[in-house]
Amino acid sequence: MAGLAATLGSGAMTNSIGEIEFNEVLFTIGSNAPEAHPIIGNKMKAAAQRGAKLIVVDPRRTELADNAHLWLRLKPGTDNALVNGLLYLIIGNGWHDKAYIDERCEGYDDLWKVVQEYPPERVAQITGVPVEQIHAAAELYARTPKAGIFYTLGITEHTTGTANVMNLANLAMVTGHIGVENAGVNPLRGQNNVQGSCDMGALPNSLPGYPSVNDPEARARFSEAYGVLMPEKMGLRIPEMLDMAVYGKLKAMFVMGEDPALTDADANHVRKALGSLDFLVAQNLFMTETAKYADVFLPAACYAEKDGTFTNTERRVQRVRKAVEPPGECRADWEIIADLSCRLGHEMHYESAEEIFDEMRTLVPSYAGITYERIDKVGLQWPCPDVEHPGTKFLHAAGFTRGKGLLQGIEYEAPAELCSDEYPILLSTGRMLYHYNIMTRHSANLESLRPHELAQINPADAQRLDLGEGDTVRVSSRRGSITTRVTVTDVVPPGVVFMTFHYKESPVNELTNAAFDPVTKTAEFKVCAVRIEKAPESELVSAAPAV
Amino acid sequence: MVELTIDGRAVSVAPGTSILEAAASVGVDIPALCYDKTLTTFGACRLCSVEIEGRANLAAACSTPVADGLVVLTESDTVVDARRTVLDLLLSDHPQDCLICEKAGDCLLQEYCYRYGVEHTSFVKGATKNFELDDDNHLIQRDQNKCILCGKCVRVCHEVQATNAVDFAGRGFESTVTTSFDHPLNKDFCRFCGQCVDLCPTGALVNKQLKGTRTWERQKVRTTCPFCGVGCNFDLNVHEGKVVGVTANYDAPVNAGSLCVKGRFHTDLIDSPDRITTPLIKRDGVFEPASWDEALDLVASRLLEIKQSDGPDAIAVLSSARCTNEENYLLQRLTRAGLNTNSIDHCART
Ligand code: SF4
Ligand code: SF4
């Protein structure tokens, strides 16, 4: 969320899920909510059925695209050029909100300097979206007061992800669409508690509540609370951890609840890194691909076996409750951490998850007013600075968290990896409805609906490669090669295949590109160049029956 | 505000409120099968009929708006007679297998027959429906013989799930709720959100996960879904120490009772035999079971060794966007205060 934090001073969804139904325009870019965020998807579709106008920017003809008033089928990875084109038209036609810009933003000249190089004809050429559609989208978005932007991994999982997000913030600021109800810039976060784990400081550059590790005042506060001097040096981000492991500089890793060997880009490199470590600990429910490399495996309780809180994509802190005992010797992650910490010589003693929460909220001002008692039934949205505060439905009402909103011109950069004769097809990856990362593969119920990968391929490509529904193909990139079944569908445009990352039998991250966004170090999951060949069914890696 | 009288009580509500809602606001429960406050009004079941003084015909409380000075009787003899007739008719072609019906104890038809003393139908041996059971998928069972055509499933699928998987077909006695081309429910057109099952007043739609347990035997524990950033709330249903399924929670702030297939049907993974249930230590390349003390002592001693020999920055920690706030908070504390490094990150920073 570095993009939003830099421009507005806060990296969270500015508005709330409940507002979606009352938006007049929903501008979605790189987000297929009906698959990735189903209940938000329902609200968007219901809003469209009621007459709200949906502008969908997506190379795929997704379910949302089918419900759209305007569907902009851009070429994968050209989002920034499109947004610049929209800004060009909005400013050029005087649809921007001058008073708002003067009062609340800075950097307008810098923005215009870049944007003026993006007339619609050029943008149409880069993105493949016709000029009239760009024009219609710009006018509709800019001239409707209740217009919100929604985006998800689609726009952040590019090498230019941070820039993409800043450009969306430009779009919203220029039109005065932030700090008001039914509008805003709204990242829809993928995993259930991404927002919370960022808020809690599970980040190499910031402490809980987002003060930088370089901030001496904040470090002093935490040093005093923990009775230990806080480290100053910026920590490693995941890709750096992996690189350092390969170089032999990183010796040990402790991995709680994640499976980078399956979910991170360029799986070969990840495995090499894990294999280079002297010592690896995995704390998880299942023997994941990563855990197989571990020296010690610590069995954890699942969410139904412990107490705690999650913070959802609209900053709402909600309760998780223990319903049953964990199986065998499994223990809640927090109990394991506290126990281990004592053995490391840093004493931690908690009777309950609530005690941890109460310690945390004395250190994180935006959570200070949230208590288990207050969120017993209905969660509260941060910032919630004191116990009388009702929580915050939408951000930046009175002004931006960082003071003035920062407008920054963002040049379009082509995706890091382009197609070639050898790798002529673009592979795009994402989520689907029936599975969540990989964990749900352990549910026989969900597995019954979609037991294996089905790569989407356009009929034109299928015909050229002599492929029919359900046929097997070998997909190869510059980094690896996997097999999968295909489904032939015009959901994807010619020249593009789409796969999910839920299946270890078709581990798509063998193929993806670990070229990183320079700021967040998020890999370019979305776009990589591949070659597709028909393969005999015998080459499919068979799934172990789910349960 | 509109002023009226319901069962002798003075009621004051906003214009446009239905009689049914006005009654509910003062705690008067008018029975209804096809009404749901989250859906558009259908006015089909006629069970909510009430008497309005000065009007010749009974009025459907769900679809009749309040008006100043109305005097409403919700349980007069005429009303009760009418309700008995409605229930009697519904029972005439309804399978009477309450003893073994999954819905028993939670069935509105059963509840209202009990409330109005309708023991059996007075229509002897009419025609009975004879639909085939739709039991093709793992999650939802459809028995159209038990369908009373209240249309809640049709409306919720259209209005809330925006999916349109099911609709009415046929007329009169032949009418039914079905899928396009009468196909068994499948994922080509149904999202398996299960919300229709939740709203079905009878045993026509059954959540197969909950089969074999009775509603009164299940404790409900409210929690937050762990599968995406929307953060829906639902009730885990617990039976004899096991999670057997999920039911919706209609006062949930984000989802108001809606769920997707993952939230609704995932719970068998909690008991998955793939779970690892004891600490493991790898010896000569093979994982062997160990005690917590052994495992944690080994982890602590190895980490301290490495910190000693190569410095704190030779250690890195991955936290998880799937774990709770408390756990993420605590792991960053362990990393910074226990290991003295800032090298903590998680996989889904975007
Ligand atoms: S499960 Fe959901 S999508 Fe399927 S018919 Fe029922 S309400 Fe519609
Ligand atoms: S029920 Fe579905 S939409 Fe709701 S939080 Fe869970 S996964 Fe997300």
- pLDDT tens digit sequence for B191-211: 899 999 999 999 999 999 999
The angle subtended at Cα A187 by Cα A370 and Cα A75, nearest 5°, is 170
Cβ-based neighbours of A117, under 8 Å, separated by 6 or more: A84
Q: Please report the beta strands in A139-294, taking only residues with DSSP state E, as ranges in sequence order.
A: 147-151, 185-187, 252-256, 279-284
B330 contact residues in A (CB cutoff 8 A) = 334, 337-338, 341, 348, 356
* Any ligand 2 atom below 6 A from CB of B226: no
Asked if A68 has any chain B CB less than 8 Å from its own CB, the reply is no
CATH 2.20.25.90 segments of chain B: 217-274
Q: Is B228 in the pocket of ligand 2 (CB under 6 A)?
A: yes
What phi and psi, each to the nearest 5 degrees, are found at residue B5? -120, 130
B2-75 belongs to which CATH class? alpha beta
Q: Between A228, A258, A345, which is nearest B318 by CB? A: A258
pLDDT in tens, A279-332: 999 999 999 888 999 999 999 999 999 999 999 988 999 999 999 999 999 999
The per-residue pLDDT for A8 is 60
Two structure tokens written together for A525: 């999951």
C-alpha A456 chain-centroid distance:
22
Describe the crossing of helices A238-247 and A267-276 by its angle, rounded to 10 degrees.
60
Please list the residue range(s) of chain B that carry CATH number 3.10.20.740. 2-75
For A189, which residue in chain B has the nearest alpha carbon? B229
The architecture of the domain spanning B217-274 is Single Sheet (2.20)
Q: Tell me, what's the pLDDT at B350?
A: 39
CATH code for residues A2-188: 3.40.228.10
Rg (CA), chain A: 24
Closest residue in A to B341 (Cα–Cα): A231
Nearest CA owner, ligand 2 atom 8: B228
Using a CB cutoff of 8 Å and minimum separation of 24, what contacts does A96-102 make?
A96/A142, A96/A174, A96/A175, A97/A174, A97/A175, A97/A176, A99/A176, A100/A173, A100/A176, A101/A173, A101/A174, A101/A176, A101/A407
Chain B nearest C-alpha distance from A321 (Å): 5
Residues 153 through 212 of chain B touching chain A, CB cutoff 8 Å: 159-162, 187, 191-193, 209
Write down the residue that tokens 């059925």 correspond to: A49
- CB–CB contact B279 A298 (8 Å): yes
CB contact under 8 A, A320 and B324: yes
Helical H segments across A316-431, by residue range: 333-343, 353-363
Contact flag B230-A313 (C-beta cutoff 8 Å): yes
- Closest atom of ligand 2 to B227 CA is 7
Least confident of A28-42, A112-126, A432-446, B260-274: A432-446
Does residue B330's CB lie within 6 angstroms of at least one atom of ligand 2?
A: no
Q: Does A314 touch chain B (CB under 8 A)?
A: yes
The answer to whether the Cβ–Cβ distance between A200 and B329 falls below 8 Å is yes
Tell me how close the Cα of B44 comes to any Cα of chain A, in angstroms: 24
Q: Could you tell me where the beta strands, DSSP code E, fall in A59-167?
A: 70-72, 105-106, 147-151
What would the two tokens of residue A321 be?
């409750």
Question: A350 to chain B: nearest residue by CA?
Answer: B330
Class of domain A194-381 as given by CATH: alpha beta
- Which residue lies with its CA nearest to atom 4 of ligand 2? B232
Ligand 1 binding pocket (C-beta < 6 A) is B 153, 156-157, 161, 163, 165-166, 190-196
Distance between CA B20 and CA A108 in Å, rounded?
A: 56
Nearest CA-CA partner of A525 in B322, B160, B223, B350: B350
pLDDT at B338 over 60: yes
Question: If you average pLDDT over residues A255-275, what whole number do you get?
Answer: 83
Strand (E) or helix (H) holding B207: strand B205-207
Q: Is the pLDDT of residue A163 over 60?
A: yes
Burial annotation A321-353 (CB, 10 A radius, 16+ → b, else e)? bbbbebbebbbbbbbbbbbbbbbbebebebeeb
The four Cα atoms B84, B88, B91, B96 give a dihedral, to 10 degrees, of 80
Q: Any bridge partners for residue A472, and if so which?
A: A485
- The CA radius of gyration of chain B, in Å to the nearest whole number, is 28
What's the pLDDT tens digit per position in A352-393? Answer: 999 999 999 999 999 999 999 999 989 999 999 999 989 888
Instruction: Specify the DSSP class assigned to residue B269.
Output: G
Ligand nearest to the CA of B192: 1
Q: Which residue do the tokens 């005042």 mark? A: A217
**CB contact residues (below 8 A), chain B span 234-263, against chain A:** 236, 238, 241-243, 251, 253-255, 258-262
Q: Which of B221, B306, B343 sits opposite A236 (nearest CB)?
A: B343
Confidence at A226, pLDDT banded by 50, 70, 90: very high
| Alpha-carbon gap: A465 to the closest alpha carbon of chain B (Å) | 26
CA distance A373 to A255: 32
Can you give the pLDDT at residue A433? 65
Residue A206 and residue B349: Cα distance in Å, rounded?
Answer: 13
The partner residues of A25 in beta bridges, in order of sequence, read A53, A147
Interface of A with B in 112-131 (CB under 8 A): none
Taking 50 as the threshold, does the pLDDT of residue B115 lie above it? yes
**ipTM for the complex shown:** 0.88
> Tokens at residue A164, please?
């993409």
Distance from the CA of A13 to the center of ligand 1, in angstroms? 29
The verdict on the CB of residue B232 being under 6 Å from ligand 2 is: yes
Quick one: which of B316, B313, B349 has its CA closest to A199?
A: B349
Alpha carbon of A48 to ligand 1 centroid (Å)? 19
pTM of the shown model: 0.87
- Centroid of ligand 1 to alpha carbon of A66 (angstroms): 19
Instruction: State which residue of chain B sits closest to A203, comparing Cα positions.
Output: B345
pLDDT single digits (tens) A427-474: 887 766 666 555 677 777 777 777 778 889 999 999 998 998 889 999
Cβ atoms of B39 and B52 within 8 Å: the answer is no
Name every residue whose Cβ is closer than 8 Å to that of residue B186 and which is 6 or more positions away in sequence: B136, B137
Q: Tell me the nearest-neighbour CA distance from B187 into chain A, angstroms.
A: 7
Nearest ligand 1 atom to the CA of B191 is: 3
Which fold, A425-539? Barwin-like endoglucanases (2.40.40)
